Structure 1
Amino acid sequence: MDLMECLGALSTLSDQGTVSRTESNLKMIPASFYIPKNKPLKPLGDDAHFICEPEQTIGVADGVGSWSKKGIDAGIYARELMSNAADSVRDEMKKYGVVIPKRVLSKAFLNTKAEGSSTACIITLQGEFLHCANVGDSKFVLIRENKIVFRSPVQQTKFNCPYQLGKMSNTPSVAEEFACKVQEGDVIIAGTDGLFDNVDEKELETLVFMGLQEDIKPELLAKKIAMYAHAQAKDPRACTPFQRESIRAGFQRFGGKYDDITVVVALIMSTSIAPWIPVWETTPAEFCGETLVDSPGPRFYFTHPLVMLSLYDLPFSLESPDLVSQSRCPLNDYIN
């Protein structure tokens, strides 16, 4: 996709006309997978996200972990922000019939009372265009015919210091707005820096290509990408984007960056195709609120803004050689 297909900044926050109302038979089919860091005192991690499929809108956020030095769990801020964003999305659609990401972010920010700060990226499909508002280094890429044809820009003051929403940080006025045209067959991969700091673009293209070759559903593709990113994050010999950026910034760094990992996969499909039903719509809720019951071993979790669902117990430990071998793990290990 030529960069000319991407629209410039959308400067008017309250003007619904800035968001395309073009009629289209395209639909975004999203799913997600989340792997929090293994911290017993913070089992939910710092990441959060939401999926509003009827409103064709998704969002991801990453609470800034440095707040822990002040005894504050920034993950609570991120989760409240995303929950409020989901509420705002539904309200926007009911009132105006269209979702404006920056306005959603502004309303969510004003309604979030927790202490802390967070990055945020809100993405909506309107007609044939994706519209996005982004603050910080959570982002998305658009893959077409096995190639990344668009990547949302990140915002940071310096290396590893992203813009962030919070009472003592930035406001949504700094959010960068942009749009890009999509077509049937496109794949959107959105996530926090735990994904993009650990997985190269070529690796991400390969993971998506192999997933599409196997015709797997979005939730399984999200899981495979997240697992690969987790393996990279734990591998001291992995060559990762974060390692390279660290060296450019003058820091001695080796291997991956251990972090919470959120992956949202969205397929752009024709509405003439029967819709896929997300796992969380048919799975009973096992966890609600902030408290998790003790688990006998590591688990992966799939999150909804108000409910956390346990998909299944893994047949192996996250620390075991079954997932991360002593040598660098081949990409195929996470696809088959």
Structure 2
Amino acid sequence: MYCSLYLNREDVSAKGFFLSSGAASLPQLSKVLAGGEDAYFVICQNWLGVADGASSWSLEETRDGLYAHELLRNCQKIVSESKSLLVTNPVEIICRSAAESQSHGLSTILVAYFDNQAEQVLHVANIGDSGFILLRNGTVFQISSPMFHDFNLPVQIKRDDDPSEFLEVYHVHLDEGDVLITATDGLFDNLYEQEIASIVSKSLQENMQPQEIAELLARKAQVVGSSASARSPFADAAQAAGYTGYRGGKLDDVTVIVSLVQKKSV
């Protein structure tokens, strides 16, 4: 599992708003030793990303998730090295990362940048069924739409693809106190939107930190994913697609980033 949680001293002292983030990534048990298929990064208090990888046929034997991990390593590197050049477009970051990636495999990817000065707008570029939920005043304010070819076949990219042919872009105004949940499909397949909102609201009332909330959401999603009888969004989608006998959750890696929109001190 590739991950990064990096803060820059200059960002902490600057005026404006910032994302106070915590993350959790839980591979399913059969994939722990291989590092899991999910990857994430959070840097500079206004950049974050998640990716969910899979293997693909090639002449080389590949590990599930290898391509996803490389994509996000490249994203972090590009953002970190380009900070002085004011790179603020997640579409550009994804395209540059894909152009530099050499691993075989398939991956969904979401990268977001929070313009935390005058606009206070979250710019999101997404491919596939990773996504985000924005909570405002304890309720679901906005949610991304997953991208599928067919049931359980998300849109993904591979080496040498042009991501701009697949990307969906969002521009979302954020207010102080908003809560942004960014995650791979392991969360959204197993917990309903209102469940997520309820868990986050109760956790904040108990003064839990973003890291703790992310861990709680990931654990709950894995419990449902391991169940053969629990209600889940994935089971609902399976039945709607004609798999009338399907019950329970979807066993999968789960990666969650919880971000609180807060005002910086002068």
Residue matched to 1:270: 263
Query: RMSD over aligned Cα, in angstroms?
Result: 2.0
Gaps of 5+ in 1: 1-22, 274-336
Q: Secondary structure at the match of 2:52?
A: strand
* Offset of residue 155 of structure 1: 1.2
* Offset of residue 253 of structure 1: 1.2
Residue matched to 1:260: 253
> Is 2:52 the partner of 1:45?
no
User: Would the aligned equivalents of 1:74 and 1:118 in 2 still touch at CA under 8 Å?
Assistant: no
Residue matched to 2:229: 237
C-alpha separation in 1, matches of 2:214 and 2:57: 28
* Offset of residue 61 of structure 1: 0.2
Distance 1:92 1:173, change over 3 A: farther
Question: Aligned AA for 1:32?
Answer: A
Q: Which has the higher contact order (CA 8 A, sep 6+)?
A: 2
Distance 1:40 1:188, change over 3 A: closer
Residue matched to 2:62: 72
- Measured against aligned partners, the alpha-carbon deviations of 1:220-265 in whole angstroms (never above 9, x if no partner) come to 0101111111111111111000000000111131101000000101
> Is 2:135 the partner of 1:162?
no
Q: Secondary structure at the match of 2:129?
A: coil
Q: Which runs of 4+ in 1 moved over 4 A?
A: 65-68
- Measured against aligned partners, the alpha-carbon deviations of 1:18-72 in whole angstroms (never above 9, x if no partner) come to xxxxx97211111100110112685311100111134x1000000025669x842
* Offset of residue 124 of structure 1: 1.0
Residue matched to 1:198: 190
Residue matched to 1:13: none
Q: Where do 1:46-195 residues align within 5 Å?
A: 46-54=37-45, 56-65=46-55, 71-95=61-85, 97-127=86-116, 128-167=120-159, 171-195=163-187
Question: Aligned AA for 2:19?
Answer: M
Q: Secondary structure at the match of 1:190?
A: strand
> Is 2:22 the partner of 1:31?
yes
User: Would the aligned equivalents of 2:177 and 2:261 in 1 still touch at CA under 8 Å?
Assistant: yes
User: Would the aligned equivalents of 1:232 and 1:255 in 2 still touch at CA under 8 Å?
Assistant: yes
Distance 1:210 1:65, change over 3 A: farther
Distance 1:146 1:236, change over 3 A: same
* Offset of residue 167 of structure 1: 2.5
Q: Secondary structure at the match of 2:29?
A: coil
Question: Aligned AA for 1:114?
Answer: S
User: Would the aligned equivalents of 1:28 and 1:53 in 2 still touch at CA under 8 Å?
Assistant: no
Between the aligned residues of both structures, percent identity stands at 31
Q: Where do 1:205-244 residues align within 5 Å?
A: 205-244=197-236
Task: Look at both structures and tell me which one has the larger radius of gyration over its CA atoms.
Answer: 1
* Offset of residue 75 of structure 1: 0.8
C-alpha separation in 2, matches of 1:256 and 1:58: 27
* Offset of residue 169 of structure 1: 5.7
Distance 1:215 1:40, change over 3 A: closer
C-alpha separation in 1, matches of 2:112 and 2:206: 27
TM-score, normalization by structure 1: 0.70
User: Would the aligned equivalents of 1:67 and 1:73 in 2 still touch at CA under 8 Å?
Assistant: no
- Measured against aligned partners, the alpha-carbon deviations of 1:59-117 in whole angstroms (never above 9, x if no partner) come to 0000025669x84213111111100011112233221x242000000011011100001
Distance 1:105 1:243, change over 3 A: same
C-alpha separation in 2, matches of 1:53 and 1:248: 41
Distance 1:173 1:40, change over 3 A: closer
C-alpha separation in 2, matches of 1:247 and 1:262: 25
Number of residue-to-residue matches in the alignment: 248
Q: Secondary structure at the match of 1:250?
A: coil
Distance 1:48 1:212, change over 3 A: same
